């Protein structure tokens, strides 16, 4: 009998240590507006309704996910950082956090799975497997639902991608949902994200946003569409207008006209002026300062289907290394390569930050799937525009 107690104590100890180890190894998310949110189109179009704080919590968590994360990863972020970034002024913060976490555990998301318009199949699941608020530490801790992970991480899905800073200032949960839906339509229906038009049934919009049946169209227009229009102009990178389409005397469809927010674009341009990218000369100086003679890579070049990782010699000329050996580039070839990667850096802030910090491009490119996918997309767009 003593032996059995010893075994049980030992098992309990191991279980405790296992949970303790997982807790200590939780992935910490540094909350900042530059975090990139990735959501599959099916998530964007799914049926759900959460209050603004719950939506911002789960979106912040999503922004911290990486494909390389363990399937049972635990995530944490500081409520203080979140509060400062969202300018949350609630005095009853504990109660608000508790209610937000409760919503994420209790209010399901319905993901459409039908292959045809008549197929009403759907998947219903919770946003998180567990949620914990550690008041003494001011930390929120989550485990993402494993069934939800593929819609957030798998490469085969079409993804909406945007900066977290766009939704954190929004006060209405409907405004957050409208931003994501309209942003997704803009990216899917315009070649370069310039302008898009989309017609949707009022009943379909009502279903996606889970608008109460007590709302008449006038309520939807005033409380949701007009309010979203005002908030998106003020805080996000897109704006929209809309036209009502009637069947008889009843508004049955809405035509949304979506385009980038000129105000936000101007802010981004001003921000870009702080880059060391004012000219090709500045860019080359940055590269030579951080990469000359240290064997770190700043990019790649494909020759005859062979990849060469680009490095800079002590005299400023570029050379490539790879499985197929060494490739030297003369001064004219080096100048052309510098110009190509200058164009890429102007379009990809994440890549520019990598260069500023003198990080090894090859290492980041191979290790970070999110960076790799984003990078490939920008390369394709630049090729289509004839810039590289």
Each domain of the chain, given as residue ranges in start order, spans 1-35+47-153, 275-384
Note the pLDDT of residue 326: 92
- Report the alpha-carbon distance of residue 35 to residue 187 in Å, rounded: 19
- Report the alpha-carbon distance of residue 150 to residue 74 in Å, rounded: 16
- Report the alpha-carbon distance of residue 312 to residue 292 in Å, rounded: 5
In CATH, what number does 1-35+47-153 get? Answer: 1.10.10.10
- Report the alpha-carbon distance of residue 135 to residue 122 in Å, rounded: 37
- Report the alpha-carbon distance of residue 17 to residue 9 in Å, rounded: 12
In the Cβ-directed half-sphere of 187, how many Cα atoms lie within 13 Å?
18
Note the pLDDT of residue 21: 44
pLDDT averaged over consecutive 10-residue blocks of the chain (388 residues)? 46 46 68 83 89 91 84 87 76 81 92 82 91 88 86 69 91 96 88 81 95 96 97 94 96 96 67 63 90 92 94 92 92 94 89 88 86 86 86
Torsion of CA 7, 13, 18, 19, to 10 degrees: 130
- Which long-range contacts (C-beta less than 8 Å, at least 24 apart) are formed by 258-265? 258/182, 258/183, 258/185, 258/186, 258/195, 258/196, 258/197, 258/198, 259/186, 259/194, 259/195, 259/196, 260/186, 260/193, 260/194, 261/232, 261/233, 261/236, 261/237, 263/233, 264/236, 264/237, 264/238, 265/237
Distant-in-sequence, close-in-space partners of 16: CB < 8 Å, separation ≥ 6: none
Note the pLDDT of residue 278: 73
Task: Please answer whether residues 235 and 183 qualify as being in contact, where contact means their C-beta atoms are separated by less than 8 angstroms.
Answer: no
Note the pLDDT of residue 386: 86
Task: Please answer whether residues 276 and 286 qualify as being in contact, where contact means their C-beta atoms are separated by less than 8 angstroms.
Answer: yes
């Amino acid at each position: 009998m003593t032996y059995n107690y010893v075994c049980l104590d030992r098992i309990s100890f191991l279980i405790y240590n296992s949970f303790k180890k997982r807790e200590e190894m939780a992935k910490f998310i540094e909350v900042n507006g530059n975090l990139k949110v990735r959501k599959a189109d099916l998530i964007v179009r799914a049926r759900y309704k959460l209050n603004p704080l719950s939506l911002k919590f789960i979106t912040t968590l999503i922004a911290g996910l990486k494909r390389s994360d363990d399937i049972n990863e635990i995530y944490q972020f500081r409520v203080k950082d979140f509060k400062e970034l969202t300018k949350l002024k609630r005095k009853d913060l504990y109660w608000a956090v508790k209610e937000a976490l409760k919503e994420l555990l209790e209010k399901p998301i319905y993901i459409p799975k039908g292959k045809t318009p008549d197929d009403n199949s759907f998947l219903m699941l919770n946003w998180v497997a567990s949620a914990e608020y550690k008041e003494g530490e001011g930390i929120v801790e989550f485990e993402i639902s494993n069934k939800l992970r593929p819609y957030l991480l798998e490469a085969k899905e079409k993804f909406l991608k945007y900066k977290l800073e766009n939704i954190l200032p929004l006060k209405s949960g409907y405004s957050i949902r409208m931003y994501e839906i309209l942003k997704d339509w803009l990216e899917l229906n315009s070649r370069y994200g310039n302008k898009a038009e989309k017609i949707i049934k009022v009943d379909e919009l009502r279903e996606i946003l889970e608008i109460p049946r007590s709302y008449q169209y006038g309520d939807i227009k005033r409380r949701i569409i007009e309010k979203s229009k005002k908030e998106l102009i003020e805080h996000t990178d897109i704006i929209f207008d809309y036209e009502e389409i009637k069947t008889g005397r009843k508004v049955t469809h809405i035509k949304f006209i979506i385009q980038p927010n000129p105000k936000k674009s101007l802010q981004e341009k001003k921000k870009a002026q702080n880059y060391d990218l004012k000219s090709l000369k500045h860019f080359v100086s940055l590269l030579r300062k951080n990469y000359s003679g240290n064997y770190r890579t700043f990019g790649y070049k494909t020759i005859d289907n062979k990849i060469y990782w680009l490095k800079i010699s002590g005299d400023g000329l570029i050379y490539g290394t790879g499985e197929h050996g060494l490739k030297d580039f003369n001064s004219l070839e080096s100048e052309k390569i510098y110009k190509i990667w200058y164009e890429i850096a102007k379009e990809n802030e994440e890549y520019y930050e990598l260069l500023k910090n003198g990080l090894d491009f090859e290492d980041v490119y191979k290790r970070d799937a999110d960076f790799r996918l984003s990078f490939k997309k920008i390369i394709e767009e630049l090729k289509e525009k004839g810039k590289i």
